[in-house]
Structure 1
Amino acid sequence: MKYKILSINPGSTSTKIALYEDEKEILCKTLNHSADEIEKYEKIQDQFEMRKEAVLSFLKESGYDINELSAVVGRGGMLPKVKAGAYLVNEIMVNRLKNNPVIEHASNLGAIIAYEIANLIGVNAYIYDSVRVDELNDIARISGMPDIPRESTSHVLNSRAMAMKVAKKYGKKYNEMNFVVAHLGGGISLSIHEKGRIVDIIADDEGPFSPERAGRVPCKALIDLCYSGKYDKNTMNKKLRGNGGLKAYLNTVDVREVIQRINNGDEYAKLILEAMAYQVAKGIGELSTVVEGNVDAIIITGGIAYSDMITSWIKKRVSFIAPVEIMPGENEMESLSLGILRVLRGEEGYNVYNE
């Protein structure tokens, strides 16, 4: 039996959709929403009907019959802490995301749109590997300040999917192996996967700087800067997320541009980019201690992993720990679709959301 799965991944100004038939991608499209269109809505949740109609209209115009779908999956949004894997979307989840999300975020619309379309044709809607997956060990939650416990925030969807692929390549199951995964994108996060659970992470504000984020910075100096009177709270937030990292040092978030500068002899650009790779390598080493060095493979993924220059710098520093697998790309639509394909085939179970 063949399964057709529609995946929906809302972003701030676009809605990505993909249609898979089993493992085969039939369609992948980014539906862009203009600034004028987005600005009509006071809250992100108010965009639901507009985005849903955009998805349905595109599918109809492209000749795809939604009645042929076996399931619909949406990007998991800002729920309270959840487990990894699939959740059946129900009224309780939809109500939480519509009326009381942990954070207002475009990903909250994924489950809501999926649920509405699935109800139209009488199939199940799911989310898979929500951005709020939290399986940290208790010891990993201790930060050093009781006021600020550590929470799990990382690129779970792509990181778990790539770890599963590597496990299959090695002829084993995901829950039989230990991985360190470094996701290199606009933000950089790292995670340690111990026998099928993400037991610790380095979030994008705890570790390496990235194209637009400052990452881990000296706390005392940061406090002094916050109270210096030079900057308001919004500006300081931007210094950490949006105007940090490569943007702050080199005035660009485009890694390809930085590499071009390096190839043209810019030694300062080389120093900064190599420092980013250096910090990623340090993070990999840090997380390797969680499993006492018993790491089966290190995985480097995300859009920046397409750069041989950056991955070679990281690999040189960490290959003594474990074999390094380079798996570039965000892979979000594939990860959503193949996750639910495993559920439909009975290879994985699913959770039912309750408050």
Structure 2
Amino acid sequence: MNEYRILAINPGSTSTKFAVYYNDECKLNKTLRHSIDELSSYKSILKQFDYRKGMIIDALVEEGFEVDSLKYIIGRGGLTYPLESGVYLVNNEMLKHASDGVYGQHASNLGPLIADFIANQIPGAKAFIADPVVTDELDEIARITGHPQFEKRSIFHALNQKATARQHAKKLGVPYESLNLIVAHLGGGISVGAHKKGRVVDVNNGLDGDGPFSPERSGGLPTGQIIDWCFESGRSKADIRRMVVGEGGYVAYLKTNDARDVEEMARQGNEKARLIQDAMAYQVAKSIGEMAVVLEGQVDGVLLTGGVAYSEYITSFIKTKVEFLAPVYVYPGEDELEALAKNALRVARQETQAKTYQPKIR
């Protein structure tokens, strides 16, 4: 059997995670932490490129890996223009759009840039991304917001949602494309997607904090109140964005973004913590109900995933609300590096074909 050697890279806000896989076997999984002081010396995320890719290469050498033996380099996809789901070869157009941050600046934009750089140093190596956060398979009707000035954007935890759905289908012994699933990613941000025969036809914008509130995001706030607040508070655009993304949800109510802290507070009798925890789970359950309507009630399963899905209290709360719709399955945690590696392996084994990045700019 051929041995395919894969390097998976996931740049995050304060860390760079990477892993080495030989076929399905993880040989190295490492998280490089970056302090706020270290990152503050760079004027933009793009300026962090040399720093982060250098740390990866140095760590690989230090761990005794022959960098030249890694032929499939796959990075987390960033905020380029929207794409359908799949594995993509990194090309110059993708690199430009990731560098420009055409849909925003985020550390994930460095994913294709670092993957491409490392692949270019290795004879015969190729660089890829898979299921980026801008994966867009929305039905046209789902894009309509209520005013032509605004259009719904598909930005969500596509990599983990797709990986979890495929894992579930494999467990059942059926193709992912044969199922109708509702997948709820419960993490620092929350996204709930309707997976219809392999396509996510509707999902809340998890980046901007639409939908349920989460440990860090405010969710769908009352429109009239937020308009008044924006004009009357004297806050800057950056302040308001932080209120919605980063300083909303648990952070705003309870001064922590750690769901484990909130659960412990509730367990010890903090009634406010219990109410806020219940309210978040309640909103997730409501979103799952909305997606059941999208799928016209034909739901084969509801999948709960992400770090917050480790909480038996929260998953039980949601299950009680929605199990009348379909069986509920819990896949706690998220392993985006494993998901990336598996996507690269699918290409290596010719189980799928890498696509060309040619976005349709809306």
In terms of mean alpha carbon deviation, does 39-48 or 324-333 score higher? 39-48
Following TM superposition, by how much is the alpha carbon of 1:178 offset from its aligned partner in structure 2, in angstroms? Answer: 0.8
Partner of 2:174: 172
Deviations 1:111-155 (A, max 9, x none): 111111111112111001111111111000001111111110110
Residues 1:111 and 2:115 are matched in the alignment: no
Which amino acid counterpart does residue 237 of structure 1 have in structure 2? R
Q: Is the contact between residue 180 and residue 287 of structure 1 (CA under 8 Å) also seen in structure 2?
A: yes
Is 1:279 the equivalent of 2:283? yes
Q: Aligned-pair distance for 1:215?
A: 0.2
State the match for 1:294 in structure 2.
Answer: 298
Residue type at the aligned position of 1:254:
D
Distance across 2 between alignment mates of 1:59 and 1:232: 42
Gaps of 5+ in 1: none
User: Is 1:141–1:151's contact at 8 Å kept on the other side of the alignment?
Assistant: yes
Aligned to 2:190: 188
Specify the SS of the correspondent of 1:199.
Answer: strand
Moved more, 295-304 or 245-254: 245-254
CA distance in 2, matches of 1:267, 1:116: 52
Aligned partner of 2:350 among 332, 346, 352: 346
Q: Provide the secondary structure at the position in 2 that maps to 1:203.
A: coil
8 Å Cα contact 2:180/2:300 also seen in 1 = yes
Alpha-carbon deviation of 1:218? 1.1
Q: 1:88 & 1:252 partners in 2: Cα distance?
A: 39
Deviation at 1:100, TM superposition (A): 5.6
Count of residue correspondences: 355
2:334 counterpart of 1:330: yes
Contact 1:44 1:104 in 2 (8 A): yes
- Any runs of at least 4 consecutive aligned residues in structure 1 with deviations exceeding 6 A, and if so which? none
- Does the C-alpha gap of structure 1 residues 271 and 99 become closer, same or farther in structure 2, counting only changes over 3 Å? closer
* Counterpart AA for 2:111: G
Aligned residue identity for 2:119: A
**Distance in 1 between the 2:235 and 2:109 partners?**
32
Q: Which residue of 2 is the match for residue 28 of structure 1?
A: 29
TM-superposition CA deviations, 1:68-122 (whole Å, max 9, x none) = 2130001101111111110001222223323464322211111111111111112
Tell me, yes or no, if structure 1 residue 310 matches structure 2 residue 302.
no
Q: Against the structure 1 CA distance between its residues 40 and 234, is the aligned structure 2 distance closer, same or farther, given a 3 Å change threshold?
A: closer
Q: Which amino acid aligns with 2:96?
A: N
The question of whether the paired residues in 1 share the 8 Å contact of 2:82 and 2:134 is answered with: yes
Residue 208 of structure 1 aligns with which residue? 212
SS of the equivalent of 2:32 reads strand
The reply on whether 1:5 has 2:9 as its aligned counterpart is no
Q: Does residue 158 of the first structure (1) align with residue 149 of the second (2)?
A: no
Which structure 2 segments of 5+ residues have no match?
none
In structure 2, distance between residues paired with 1:24 and 1:44: 32
User: Aligned partners of 2:351 and 2:150: how far apart in 1?
Assistant: 38
Measured against aligned partners, the alpha-carbon deviations of 1:219-259 in whole angstroms (never above 9, x if no partner) come to 11111211224544333222212221112222222211111
Moved more, 11-20 or 178-187: 11-20
CA distance in 1, matches of 2:9, 2:38: 19
| Matched residue type, 1:302 | G
Cα distance per residue 1:160-200 (max 9 Å; x no partner): 00000001111101111111010011111111111111111
Amino acid at match of 1:117: I
Provide the rounded CA distance (Å) in 1 between the counterparts of 2:20 and 2:164.
Answer: 20
What is the rounded CA distance, in whole Å, between the counterparts of 2:81 and 2:234 in structure 1?
36
In the superposition, relative to structure 1, how do residues 263 and 202 fare at CA in structure 2: closer, same or farther (>3 Å)? Answer: same
| Deviating more after overlay: 252-261 vs 159-168 | 252-261
**C-alpha distance after superposition, 1:264-298 (max 9, x if no partner):** 12222111111110100000000111110111110
Task: Report % sequence identity.
Answer: 47
**1:74 and 2:75 are equivalent in the alignment:** yes
- Flag the 1:12–1:66 CA change in 2: closer, same or farther, 3 A: same
TM-score normalised by length of structure 1:
0.96
User: What amino acid is aligned across from residue 73 of structure 1 in structure 2?
Assistant: I
* Aligned-partner residue type, residue 262 of structure 2: V
Q: Is the 8 A contact 1:101 1:108 kept in 2?
A: no
Q: Determine if contact 2:5/2:69 at 8 Å carries over to the other structure.
A: yes
Which residue is equivalent to 1:125?
A: 127
Asked if residue 225 in structure 1 is aligned to residue 229 in structure 2, the reply is yes
Indicate if the aligned counterparts of 2:101 and 2:109 stay in contact, CA closer than 8 A: no
SS in 2 for 1:16: strand
